[in-house]
């Protein structure tokens, strides 16, 4: 047997889905090598057959035929292995120094293009990205018919290659930004990218930033809007999201889909989201501050009624609110974990616990339940799961500060969070940038 084939076989020892199929093409014995699990072998063979017939009728030599159907490569095991891994079919003949890589009919291993699962769209285009990077880029090209979309293919990883693709509008996106992203990915060639933390490292970000420096969206329509404003979208193969760079605070409140409504409605929807972040940050902290530290700020009537509702509650406001907030976080986390068939159980049980039992048992005050509900609802108005998670965390900073310093603590906390937001920079571009499309990175 050919040493090349032998070596391939040894590399994939115990991989039973590797096939080595002996064939004759134009009377030359060859091996067809590939993975059963990645290649639709029957269909591929039919196509090969067709090529063979036309070659016979036009009297081509085997060399010409192979040149025509694929790429001829020098025998190099390492390269061949990576071709096999990406689902290519190799045609190897015994007595030649070269082999041919052809693009077979692949097994259908992708989802179809479906409506989004993480982001709901009202009155807007519904298709969302899926796991296949090429489908995603195709969706973008379909979404906007523009010749100046650039799609640069990059790949990272030393052992396992991950395909990355960087999309931007030529002429619109800042060249410096594109260059910075490209060079930082190229610098981190040997890093493996399995998740967004890896990607953040590869882009040179700290893994400890609470606010995610990449904005994710699974909607081509949103992505195109970002691209049009001069941002850069990164696609990672097998990750059904576009990663938008740089990311800004304002993205928390805006969706491109808002622009499908008249301007006053758009403005009020966005205002609601701004209220959302303020309420989810401030209300729990205000409760602690007003109940425990500064009750005199409230109207006397209000202060009394709050005091009355807390009459039989055996622990301080901070413990009370932390207890309930943690239960609430557990409910949210549980409803993400559970299969959707059992999910409603959690809502029901949680609803009963929160709604009635806890209050009737005099473990927490009724007011607190209202506040928790308002907080959770307000938190969900923010755009982007990663953002609402960050706000959920910031809320605790404020609650703890409020329990020590009262209202002063809340405002101090706001300064702290504002300072944190202000200190975030992505490739030299501030997180608080409002006018990126106009200014570009020239001030970055």
**193, two tokens:** 């990218």
Query: What count of residues does the chain have?
Result: 444
Torsion (CA) 358, 363, 369, 372 in degrees, nearest 10:
-110
Among 97, 112, 300, 360, binds another protein (CB under 8 A): 300
Q: Which is nearest to 409 in space by CA: 420, 421, 397?
A: 397
CB neighbours of 296 closer than 8 A, spacing ≥ 6?
303
CB neighbours of 416 closer than 8 A, spacing ≥ 6?
397, 401
H or E element, residue 23: strand 18-25
Q: How far is the CB of 298 from another protein (least distance, A)?
A: 6
**298, two tokens:** 């409230």
Chain centre to alpha carbon of residue 106: 26
**What is the three-class DSSP state of 256?**
helix
Question: Is residue 283 within the footprint of another protein (CB under 8 A)?
Answer: no
267 vs 338 by CB, closer to another protein:
267
Q: How far is the CB of 239 from another protein (least distance, A)?
A: 31
The 10 Å CB-count burial string (b at 16+, else e) for 34-55 is bbeebbebeebbeebeebbeeb
Q: How far is the CB of 416 from another protein (least distance, A)?
A: 6
Among 165, 388, 430, 441, binds another protein (CB under 8 A): 430
User: Per-residue string for binding with another protein, 376-415, x by CB under 8 A?
Assistant: -------------------------x--xxxxxx-xx-xx
Question: Is residue 374 within the footprint of another protein (CB under 8 A)?
Answer: no
Q: Compute the distance between CA of residue 222 and CA of residue 140 in angstroms, rounded to an integer.
A: 10
Q: How far is the CB of 310 from another protein (least distance, A)?
A: 17
Among 46, 85, 297, 307, binds another protein (CB under 8 A): 297
64 vs 443 by CB, closer to another protein:
443
Question: Is residue 367 within the footprint of another protein (CB under 8 A)?
Answer: no
203 vs 290 by CB, closer to another protein:
290
Q: How far is the CB of 400 from another protein (least distance, A)?
A: 12
Number of residues that bind another protein (CB under 8 A): 28
Kindly list the residues in this chain that would bind another protein in the complex (CB under 8 A): 293-294, 296-300, 302, 401, 404-409, 411-412, 414-416, 418-419, 421-423, 430, 432, 443
């Amino acid at each position: 047997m050919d040493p090349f084939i032998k070596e391939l076989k040894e590399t994939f020892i115990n991989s039973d889905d590797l096939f080595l199929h002996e064939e004759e093409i134009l009377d030359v014995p060859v091996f067809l090598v590939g993975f059963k699990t990645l290649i639709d072998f029957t269909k591929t063979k039919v196509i090969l057959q067709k090529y063979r017939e036309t070659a016979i009728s036009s009297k081509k030599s085997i060399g010409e035929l192979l040149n025509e159907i694929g790429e001829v490569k020098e025998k190099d095991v390492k390269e061949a292995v990576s071709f096999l891994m990406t689902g290519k079919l190799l045609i190897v003949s015994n007595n030649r120094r070269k082999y041919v890589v052809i693009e077979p009919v692949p097994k259908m291993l992708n989802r179809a293009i479906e409506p989004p699962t993480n982001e709901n769209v009202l009155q807007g285009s519904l298709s969302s990205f899926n796991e296949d990077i090429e489908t995603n880029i195709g969706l973008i090209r379909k979404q906007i018919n523009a010749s100046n979309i650039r799609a640069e293919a990059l790949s990272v990883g030393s052992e396992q290659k991950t395909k990355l693709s960087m999309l931007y509008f030529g002429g619109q996106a800042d060249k410096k930004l594109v260059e910075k992203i490209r060079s930082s990915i190229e610098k981190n060639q040997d890093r493996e990218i399995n998740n967004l933390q890896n990607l953040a490292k590869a882009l040179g970000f700290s893994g400890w930033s609470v606010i995610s420096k990449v904005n994710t969206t699974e909607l081509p329509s949103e992505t195109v809007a970002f691209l049009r404003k001069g941002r850069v979208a990164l696609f990672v193969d097998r990750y059904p999201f576009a990663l938008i760079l740089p990311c800004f605070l304002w993205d928390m409140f805006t969706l491109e889909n808002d622009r499908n409504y008249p301007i006053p409605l758009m403005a009020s929807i966005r205002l609601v989201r701004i209220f959302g972040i303020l309420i989810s940050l401030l209300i729990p902290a205000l409760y602690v501050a007003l109940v425990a530290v500064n009750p005199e700020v409230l109207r006397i009537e209000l202060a009394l009624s709050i005091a009355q509702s807390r009459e039989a509650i055996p622990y301080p406001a901070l413990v009370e609110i932390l207890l309930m907030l943690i239960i609430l976080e557990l409910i949210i986390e549980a409803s993400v974990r559970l299969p959707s068939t059992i999910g409603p159980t959690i809502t029901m049980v949680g609803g009963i616990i929160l709604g009635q039992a806890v209050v009737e048992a005099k473990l927490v005050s009724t007011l607190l339940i209202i506040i928790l509900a308002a907080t959770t609802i307000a938190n969900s108005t923010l755009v982007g799961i990663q953002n609402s998670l960050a706000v959920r965390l910031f809320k605790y900073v404020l609650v703890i500060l409020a329990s020590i310093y009262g209202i002063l603590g809340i405002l101090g906390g706001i300064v702290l969070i504002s300072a944190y937001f202000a200190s975030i920079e992505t490739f030299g571009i501030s997180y608080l940038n409002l006018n990126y499309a106009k200014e570009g990175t020239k001030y970055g």
